[in-house]
Structure formats: C-alpha cells, structure tokens
A and B are shown apart, each in its own frame.
Chain A
C-alpha cells in the first residue's frame, strides 16, 4: 500500500507526538493526522489495503469505522510504544548517542538535535509496526543506555570516594588530555589505559587473602597490608578511567576491554558488512533493467495493472517490493539489516521511484521492453 506516501505526508507535519490516551475512541484517534497515518501503516501490515487507502484518502464510511474498531486495541498498544519512544529520546540519551558518532555530530550541526529527535521518533513509530523485532532491539539498546546513565552519578561518586581515600592521582591523565593533537592524545590515552589496567584482578586479591591467613609475624602482616594498599591504588587507578566525565577516555577504555579489533562483531550477528555491500549495488541502468524484469515477471498482475494506469500508490508499493526482493534475494544469509544494507535500500528505493513503467497494452498484456 502507501507506506512511502504516508511517510511523505507525515514529513509535512511537524507535530510528531502521537497521542496515546487509551481512553480515546477511534474517531478521536483518527482525528489526529499522525495517528491516522500510523493506523494506515498498521492496516497495510494487516493486508487491509482497501481500508488503508480509504483512510489515507479520507474516504472512510461509517461501516469502515466499525471494521477499524477491530484493530483499535492493537493500535493503542502501538501508540503506547510511540509514547515510550518519545520519552526515551530525551536530550541526555540523545546527546550520549550523538557523541558516539562523529558523522552524527556533523548531521547535528546541519539539522539540529530537534531535527534528529523528530526524524528518529518518526522512523521508530513506523518501525514499531513494520518490523517489531527490530524496534524491540532498538528499545532494548535505549534501555541499556538509560539504565547506565541513571546509575552513573551514584557509581561515579563511589569511585571518586575510593580514589580520594587511596590518593589516586589524575595528574598524568590531566596532562595527557591537554595534548591538542588528537592522534597524539589518543596514543597517550591508550598507553595510560594499558598501564593502569595491569592490575591482576581477583587473582591478586586471592593471593593476598591466602597469605593473610598464613602470616603471623607483625612485620610480614604490615608489609602485606602495604601491598594491599598498593593493589587498592591500582584498582582506583583503573576505575577512575571509567567515570563519566571524559567520553574520549571511556571510549578508549571500552575499546581496550573489548580487545584491539574495533570492528569485532557481536556473537551470532549476521549484519551485512561494508565489503559485502559491494556485491549488492547495481548501476542505474542495470537497476532499471532489473526493475523492468521484475515488473514483467510479477505474479501480482492486479498491482502491476494499477501501477501501469499511473496509480501512484500501486506504483510505490511495486517499487518497494522490487527493492526488498532484489536486496532480499541477494542477501539470503543476512539475518540483520545493517548500516550499509539500509542505506543501499534507501538509495535504490529513491532511484527506483523515478523509474517508469511500460504502459499496459490495450489487450491487457505488457508491451515488450526495448
């Protein structure tokens, strides 16, 4: 149906927070343009194409409203998800995400934090309907970040207290952070992290504990106590790297903790890599030829027929199907759409939206491609 069209309509509207009041009746829900468009997407997902089109075109009749009422509960749940998304996209979390990506920082300068927030909220609201698993994954990431941010202040205080108690000095870190040259500064930070992370952990603790049991001479115990203090200083040294006041140091610490390979993927993840995306793209002319073949071979003659009669909704649907089929066929092994998959999909969909259809022949057949 008309997902693309609905999205375009949505773009024209700046108010993006759908109302999630569960007490609203269907007529009230549909009076809100954004809700109405989201509802259209839900109907699309449910293959209620006719109903969806009537909704988009504003041609609903009383009997249609009765039918729509059947989807009301599900839709109210979607509105709740939307509300949750908008609450999660608070400036603290948004800032945390923007600082993780230099490219997003540049986009932030171009469209502003409000622009990013609006776009992400809009995308997530549709994703909740179109791909619930993916939506849930994103919400899960949000929750992990939010949870960490909420506990951050308390943990930082605890660590600062330990550092003060054992006189952990931040002078060397302070000196490193003053270095203007980013590359030089990062090299120094990495060196400092390596040095501070040399603590032997629980093994060292167990060793001290074992010896503490055995010793009975005062001098030996005092010496071991001094060693324990030294270990505590090492622990404070390493913990101080993790407090939330320096993103650069924390990022490098995480890299250190995850191992040297920054591109290391999470276990079980089968996201398309940049290298793999190389096998997917087509030149404009090849993509157009693939499009004409797709239309010619399509089993959905009714949809093709409507598209050939210049029904923009049908044409949009056919183009989306084409891109999804093309990328899907090429990527049977891929379970998770990644960064490059999604962008190729976006570029191909946009390009395909400009492709013409060979008009239907008067006898209902399709003219041969030249």
Chain B
C-alpha cells in the first residue's frame, strides 16, 4: 500500500471515528449514569438525520448549521419525552426489561418515521461552504466535509470533557455514575439530573445523525445498523468512560475503514469479533473509570 493512500484512508477513517464518537459519547454517559442500555439510541441518531433533511426542505434558504441546531433540539425533546414518561418507570428493573422497552421505542420511532417520511432513501446536500476538496500528496482528493466532521468531533470531545470535569453539573454526573443513592442523600435532585443527561445524550445522537446526513443515504434502517457498533464502542471503552469511548471510537472507525480496504467481504464482522474478544477477555472494557 502506498503511503499517501494509507494517510488518506487514515483521515477518512478518522472522520468515520469522530461521527461514531459523537453518538457513542451520548450513549456511554446515559448508560454510565442512568444504567439504561438504550437500544433506541441509534434511532435517535436516525431522527437527527431525518429532522435535518426535513428542516432544510421545509424552510428554504435555511442554512445547514441552523437546520442542524433545530433538528438537534427536536431530538432532545423526543429524548426528554422518552425519559420522562416510560423510562422513569423502569429504572429499578432488570437490564433485560430495559433493553426490551428501549427496543419497543425502536419499533415506534422507525414506523413513525416511515409514516411521515416514506421508505425512500433521502440525501442531504453537503453545505456549500464545505462542498469541495483539496489535494493531498499522491493526488488524493480529500473532501473538506470529512475534515469538518473531524473538527466537530474534537470540539465536542473537548466541550464534553470540560463539562464533565470542570463544571458542577459534570461533577454531579460523575458522582451519580459512582453512587446514585449517596448523591440523592446529599439532597441532589437525581431524577432531574437523569432527565438532563438523557436529553444531552439524545442531543449528541441527533448531532451525529445530522452531521452524517450528507455522507450517507438517510434511511430508516440506519439506526439499527449503527446501534450495534455504538454498543461495541461503549463496551470496548468501558461503560461511562468518555475517554474510553473516544479511543474505542477511533479503534472501531479505523478498523472498519481499513477492514473494507483489505477484506471487503468480511469487514462487516470485524466489529463483532472485536466486541466478542473484549467481552471474553476484559468485559469491564479497556478503559473503565471505576
């Protein structure tokens, strides 16, 4: 393999990784604090893409950035509803029931999306400002949008790190992940914290979906495809660990990208093999915080 091609694939893989990180960071925070393995997280990601498409097409002249903001807010509202009405009832129940309940969300969200948006694949144009490419050594054309995604991922990672480690709210989330009862005993309104974190997680999934829109065919199945990869990242990184999710996203993103280059017919299985290997050897994840 030529070195320039290797670099090119590495950068493409990195943009893929950052997209995965946006989604996975939301799930790992939710799973860490609320202890809910949210199967519907992929569906919230899908909604992010659909809402972005919807706002761009129903409000002509709207910039991509604003459409993204609107759609992220819409996904946040849906997340709030999901947390506030059904999930709140089952915090004390087994993971099995929680998984099954969040699976019922997938059924509802998918079918509602089909009802409103149809089953055709939709495509979102790359925003004009970033619709171009520049030439890398070796005459490879690198799309500006991929670099933009990487930048978004890094900025969000930094903001989340700041938010989680440098603010009072972040400290509360960390404390809650470690010991909910103690936090509650200290007079903190834990249910409200749960709602806030679930909204934050949903917003991150929605942001990932909106940003993925121009890169992928927007379709109802995109949530189910991504959620297993996202669970893999959360497990490999260690549930609740932001740093772990970041490193695991890069690992999985690059593995997928180079997998497709070297073993096109079996690349699909790489993520599953990785998650099996981690679960069998270090089920607590490679970078668990606790």
Query: Do A and B make up one complex?
Result: no
